[in-house]
Structure 1
Amino acid sequence: MSKVAIIGGTGLTSLQNLEISGREIMHTPYGEPSSTLVRGTLGNNDVLFLPRHGSGHTITPHRINYRANLWALKEAGAEMIIAINAVGGIQPEYQPGCLVIPDQIIDYTWGRNNTFFEEGDNPVVHVDFTWPYCETLRQSLLQAASQAGVDVIKQGTYGATQGPRLETAAEINKLEADGCNTVGMTGMPEAVLARELEVCYASVGVVANTAAGRHEGEITMEEIEQHLAEGMKNVRTLLEHVIPLL
């Protein structure tokens, strides 16, 4: 049974070098996941793969069924989840194409189903979320990056916004004042749902663009796609090196 799962974000709807052994349609108490779960091997290691936005990248960030996705991965046997997230870089060092392994997150989303503990007669549960990412998995990612010669920024604070629109320049100024280094739309409630399920969860952020107001002109999808293509090459290398460590 695969213990390691990969959630692919924008730019990673499939995994190169993944030898697929099967696909599994999952039904959950929370509805349908974004896609069928893919089982396979990556470098002779069993993994699960789920594209967060669906196989055709058709599900917007605020409409993703995060609870179904996380529940399905847990039910399929995942004990560790590596989430790939496209993000915008706020500070100058967070340049397009680079990788970030965040250690903190600030949630600016609203109206999303963000807990498993809200229905029925179950007692109220308050999970500790001081450190939102699994440090053991974070360190494995950093070790793999060092072994693979992949440059990564070793920490940072991810600002999770609602989407699907990009942010205004003033909103980015606010996020920076709050301490955010990157901004994205899919980091929450994914991280806290994994914590509620007691699944070790960490993120690899791929900087797809400089955040609003941080460069001249508009942010275009062509620009984002170009930088994601560059960053995803390093993501694939990183995954191939970290999976054996786990």
Structure 2
Amino acid sequence: MVQNKRVIGIIGGSGIYAIEALDAVQRVEVETPWGKPSDSLVKGTIADVDLVFLARHGNGHAIPPHQVNYRANIDALKRAGVTDLISLSACGSFKEALPPGMFVIADQFIDRTGGREKSFFESGFVAHVSMADPVCPALAEALEISCSELSIPNSHGGTYICIDGPQFSSRAESNLYKSWGCDVIGMTAMPEAKLAREAELPYAIAAMVTDYDCWNESEGAVEVAKVLETIKANKDNAAKLIENIAVRLGPERTPSPSGVEKMLDMAVITPPSARSSAALKKLDAVAGRFLKR
């Protein structure tokens, strides 16, 4: 049964390491079959809405994007009862119409990462979830409305290309991605969005532009010092956005129009007789609803 009580999960990227507006704060350590998440989970409420916050890069930003344990992060949030997941992530822009300070509510992704663990489903239990429309339209719309109410510059829709990092793009790569029609570039949305879909969690992202990447030669190369300046400004807007989105979504929820909460019903291919006990044990949270049918 789909939960009626909403629990909003917030994954904070570069510059977003806490939610100051949370009431009744608790820090919780969560163990997962996939190892340790990036940090302890921070639980609290805003306007009677339950929230669970996780700093993607950990305390002090000690974890680089290519070493984030994305499976443990999503599993931990699922175990904590999260029903809706919002990602806040720094990014570069490929369009002059998306300047630093813009919040891009991306709705498509291109995955150019390699070597990251991208699925919960391994030998012994196979599933193929659809990623045709990877973002929950209801969450994305709520983000857009909240941004507009707060006068935060925003753009609804767009393609986010995810690279491994931690290095920024070469100029040749940047121009290639721009020629593909990508809107923004980052290092963390993949496989995060894929794993959220496998865990039947509606997902949306506010990609916060910090720079123009290096295709725009008039702006010079991407440098951390410049990025940090914009992150400071984006941090204030992100804090206001989290408060507004909690109030807007409210404590009661309805299922995602994408049907994400029952995604595994159409994705699992391994019959019960062939599923390994080891795989089933690791999937107790991620696929718990499906396995209890």
TM-score, length-scaled by structure 1 = 0.95
**How many angstroms apart in 2 are the aligned matches of 1:17 and 1:127?**
35
Residue aligning to 2:178? 176
Please, which of 6, 11, 17 is the counterpart of residue 21 of structure 2? 17
**How many angstroms apart in 2 are the aligned matches of 1:139 and 1:90?**
23
**How many angstroms apart in 1 are the aligned matches of 2:6 and 2:60?**
24
| 1:114-172 Cα deviation digits (max 9, x unpaired) | 000113x22x2111110111111111111222333322111110000010000011101
1:226 aligns with 2:229: yes
Relative to its length, the structure with more helix (as a share) is 2
Residue aligning to 2:107? 103
Unaligned ranges ≥5, structure 2: 250-293
- The amino acid of 1:39's aligned partner reads K
8 Å CA contact 1:89, 1:95 repeated in 2:
yes
1:92 aligns with 2:96: yes
| 1:216-237 Cα deviation digits (max 9, x unpaired) | 4332212101111112222222
8 Å CA contact 1:2, 1:48 repeated in 2:
no
**How many angstroms apart in 1 are the aligned matches of 2:227 and 2:219?**
15
Secondary structure at the counterpart of residue 172 of structure 1:
helix
**How many angstroms apart in 1 are the aligned matches of 2:158 and 2:24?**
33
Q: Within 5 Å, give how 1:211-222 maps onto structure 2.
A: 211-214=213-216, 215-222=218-225
8 Å CA contact 2:134, 2:193 repeated in 1:
yes
Give the CA deviation at 1:213. Answer: 2.9
Give the CA deviation at 1:63. Answer: 0.3
- The amino acid of 1:221's aligned partner reads V
| 1:61-120 Cα deviation digits (max 9, x unpaired) | 00000000000000100010110010001111111111110011100000100000113x
8 Å CA contact 2:142, 2:245 repeated in 1:
yes
Residue aligning to 2:37? 33
Any runs of at least 4 consecutive aligned residues in structure 1 with deviations exceeding 4 A, and if so which?
none
Give the CA deviation at 1:2. Answer: 6.3
Aligned residues: 244
**How many angstroms apart in 1 are the aligned matches of 2:168 and 2:234?**
20
Residue aligning to 1:244? 247
| Range that drifts further, 132-141 or 106-115 | 132-141
**How many angstroms apart in 2 are the aligned matches of 1:126 and 1:55?**
34
TM-score, length-scaled by structure 2 = 0.80
Give the CA deviation at 1:183. Answer: 0.3
Please, which of 183, 196, 199 is the counterpart of residue 197 of structure 1? 199
Secondary structure at the counterpart of residue 98 of structure 2:
coil
Residue aligning to 2:75? 71
**How many angstroms apart in 2 are the aligned matches of 1:25 and 1:96?**
35
Cα distance change on mapping 1:128 and 1:80 into 2, 3 Å:
same
**How many angstroms apart in 2 are the aligned matches of 1:51 and 1:216?**
30
Secondary structure at the counterpart of residue 190 of structure 2:
coil
- The amino acid of 1:114's aligned partner reads K
Secondary structure at the counterpart of residue 116 of structure 1:
coil
Unaligned ranges ≥5, structure 1: none
Secondary structure at the counterpart of residue 188 of structure 1:
helix
